[in-house]
Amino acid sequence: MASYPKAAPKKVYYLVRTRSLFSCFLHWVFFLSVVVLILTGFYIASPLLFHGHGEAFQAYIMGYARLSHFVAATFLIAGFALRLYLSFFLCSRHDILDILPTPKNIAGAAKLAFYYLTFHGPHHIYRYVNPLGGIGVFSLITFCAVQIGTGFLLYLPCADPIFWGGAVPLAQSLVLKLGGLQSVRLIHHIVMFFLMAFIVIHVYLQIWKNTMFEEADIASIFSGYKMFPEEIVRVFDKGFESYEVKEE
């Protein structure tokens, strides 16, 4: 993107890097682990589909479901830890600022939501995560944090007390504050539906944006690149992270 053609006869598009390949990889780690967590979680909550045949020692279905649940949860937690580390220390820009519900982000998200619903009003085209998506990601992180926390509270009573040491009584005092394991189980179950609702809205909006807007490219979650027209890239090159579209 060093030089632009002087007079463009046709609209010219440029590939712009919007996320690192490693963060794309982490996105799909989250995707896989959340899918496994939801499926095995449904089985653990209410074992409907599969039943063990034969003697108890010949089947280990619930055991494998729980094992998969814990392994997927480990991947989710490790992924989150890496992603947080990246956004604070390694990325060239602190992309955590894109998702925090700051007044600026909330105003931007409101404008964008209004535009998506009515196609009226001024709005911005963003290079990185747009504020509406940022708030979505923030709520997703909140849901996941609740799931990880309550998941630990449910897991620790059956965990190895020597390995986990003081965490086991600590978990019990937290469970006491939350009103018992049954309440924790209910929270874990309900927040899972919020996560599912997020996934529905997230997937819908990505596909919808991909069909409606030229700058929204669903392929960017695989490649890390998006295509933007020249006039927008010029603005980005000046150091801005968004391009303002004014209402005529």
Partner 1 sequence: MEQKEFMEKHKMLYSLDRREFMLFCTKIAAVLGLAPSFIPKIAEAIEEGAKKPSVIWLHLAECTGDSEAFIRSTYPSIEELVLNILSVDYHETIMASAGDQAEELLEKVMRENKGKYLAILEGAIPTGTPPGPGGKPGGFLTIGKRTGMELAREVCSNAFAAICVGTCSCFGGVQAQYPNPTGAKGVEDAIGVPTLKIPGCPHNVVNSVATVVNFLLLGSLPRTDKYGRPLFAYGKRIHDHCPRRAHFDAGQFVEKFGDEGAMNRYCLYKMGCKGPQTYHNCSLAEYNDGTSWPVKGGHGCIGCSEPNFWDDMAPFYERLPDVKLPGVEATADKVGFALVGAAAAGAAVHGAYTFINRGKFRNREEEKE
Give the footprint of partner 1 on this chain (CB under 8 A): 11, 45-47, 50-52, 55-63, 65-66, 116-117, 119, 157-158, 169, 172-173, 176, 179-183, 185-186, 189-190, 192-194, 196-198, 200-201, 204-205, 208, 212, 245, 248
| Residues sharing a CB contact under 8 Å with residue 8, sequence separation 6 or more, in sequence order | 230
When the beta carbons of 72 and 192 are compared against partner 1, the nearer one is 192
| Residues sharing a CB contact under 8 Å with residue 205, sequence separation 6 or more, in sequence order | 116, 133
Minimum distance between the CB of residue 237 and partner 1, rounded to whole angstroms? 21
How many whole angstroms separate alpha carbon 30 and alpha carbon 83?
10
CB 126 within 8 A of CB 93: no
When the beta carbons of 16 and 153 are compared against partner 1, the nearer one is 153
How many whole angstroms separate alpha carbon 66 and alpha carbon 159?
12
- Other CB atoms closer than 10 Å to residue 18's CB: what's the count? 20
- The beta-strand segments (E) located in 54-200 are 123-126
Minimum distance between the CB of residue 101 and partner 1, rounded to whole angstroms? 20
How many whole angstroms separate alpha carbon 52 and alpha carbon 58?
8
When the beta carbons of 20 and 183 are compared against partner 1, the nearer one is 183
Minimum distance between the CB of residue 236 and partner 1, rounded to whole angstroms? 19
| Residues sharing a CB contact under 8 Å with residue 177, sequence separation 6 or more, in sequence order | none
Distance of CA 134 to the CA centre of its chain: 9
Minimum distance between the CB of residue 64 and partner 1, rounded to whole angstroms? 9
Minimum distance between the CB of residue 25 and partner 1, rounded to whole angstroms? 27
When the beta carbons of 40 and 105 are compared against partner 1, the nearer one is 40
Minimum distance between the CB of residue 164 and partner 1, rounded to whole angstroms? 14
Structure tokens at 34: 């959340």
When the beta carbons of 32 and 186 are compared against partner 1, the nearer one is 186
CB 204 within 8 A of CB 211: no
How many whole angstroms separate alpha carbon 184 and alpha carbon 152?
10
When the beta carbons of 128 and 198 are compared against partner 1, the nearer one is 198
When the beta carbons of 143 and 236 are compared against partner 1, the nearer one is 143
**First-last CA distance in the chain:** 30
Minimum distance between the CB of residue 45 and partner 1, rounded to whole angstroms? 6
